[in-house]
A and B are shown apart, each in its own frame.
Chain A
Amino acid sequence: MVIKSILREELENSLRMQKRYEQELAKLPKGSLVKRVIKGHEYYYLVYRENGKVKSLYRGKSPSKKDLLKYQEAKELRSKYRKALSQVKKQIRYLRGALRGKEEI
């Protein structure tokens, strides 16, 4: 009984967590800032996906340090949040399975 209540609480937590990670991912700046070397010159592009297609937006020869940091941090966080989201989804599947029975969750 106690275990079941813990599992139920964990499931509620995981469902809420899934929503929060999705919100945080949506808040991150879209795309990655990439450097391309063309004819010996460096150019920066913001590469992102739109309607399933990869798009590049020219961002100049030397983007500001602030921009570089912003996109670098977003890239790292995006990777962490995606990993966390995938883990949470696995937990939800596991918890739903463990709680599946006569009682409704």
Chain B
Amino acid sequence: MEKKRYDLFLEVLRRMGSTGILDKLVLVGSWCILLYQDYFREKGLLPSIRTRDLEFLIPTPPSFDQTTNLHELLKDLGFVVDYKGEAGYMIFVHPDLILEFLVPARGRESKKPHPIAQLGINAQALRFMDLLLRDSIPVLFNDMTVTIPHPANFALQKLLIARRRKQKDKAEKDKAQAIAILRALDASDQLGAVRSLLETMPQSWQRTIRKELTELGEKALLDLIVKGRNSSR
């Protein structure tokens, strides 16, 4: 099943790539971790558990060069359109993957779906998505260039949203992913990127992140982020 899922993931990326859509999207969510495994090069640093949810973040305003009917593009793979939640966020479902589209939420909180006319879809607006867009990195994956958030941004965003989650289990998953990424950054001597990012954040966000790491018993990791390895010795 994993092989089939992985192949379908590749085919979705290929089709999006061939129509120029992929260049304008940022892959977010647990599938990012698959690409981080290549980024960190060392296997086993990151958890390999992934859900079927394949999430793409669309920077707003969208800058697609042409109009593409995304459903038509993916229909023959067996994807059908479904609508999630009371608000009716459009998703493409398949037994192996569920495609979701997100945009950064700005201004007053609203659950209204955000229309993306160029793709014939709507997207869900979520908080802290701008953080994932900032410093996003293009990575080469199976001869395709896929844009993903910088792991530092990914990890800190997970810590920020974990606190806002209504479902405790999801919050736990967010925190576990954040810690795994932070450890991988530490192992590859890149905690400086986390420190730099943390320093640019509003004080309230910094407090949340410090609090989360402390409550998770990761005070040593927090010290490494804030003070650096040399100072903590």
Contacts and interface: CB of A to CB of B under 8 A. Distances in A.
Contact of B78 (A2, A5, A13, A84): A84
Interface string A1-26: 11111100110011011001100100
Nearest to A88: B95
Interface stretch (A34-42, A52-60, A74-82): A74-82
A19 to B, nearest CB: 9
Contact of A5 (B80, B82, B95, B170): B170
A32 interface: no
A3 B49 contact: yes
A49 interface: no
Contact of B93 (A5, A17, A77): A17
B172 interface: yes
B142 interface: no
Contact of A17 (B49, B82, B170): B82
Contacts of B49: 3, 6
Interface string B80-102: 10100000000001111010000
Contacts of B170: 5
B207 interface: no
A13 B98 contact: yes
B52 A10 contact: yes
A14 B96 CA distance: 10
A96 interface: no
Contacts of A4: 169
Contacts of B229: none
A87 B167 CA distance: 28
Contacts of B176: 2
A93 interface: no
Contacts of A70: none
Interface residues of B, number: 20
A21 B173 contact: no
* Residue among A10, A13, A77 facing the most chain B CB atoms (10 A cut-off): A13
Given A17-B95, A81-B78, A5 B52 contact: no
B51 A9 contact: yes
A13 B52 contact: yes
Contact of B94 (A2, A3, A76, A84): A84
A84 B85 CA distance: 22
Contacts of A24: 80
A81 B76 CA distance: 10
A3 B167 CA distance: 14
B106 interface: no
Interface of A: 1-6, 9-10, 13-14, 16-17, 20-21, 24, 76-77, 80-81, 83-84, 87-88, 91
Given A6-B169, A20-B80, 16 more contacts: A1-B169, A1-B172, A2-B169, A2-B172, A5-B169, A13-B52, A14-B95, A16-B93, A20-B82, A21-B80, A24-B80, A77-B76, A80-B77, A84-B95, A87-B95, A87-B96
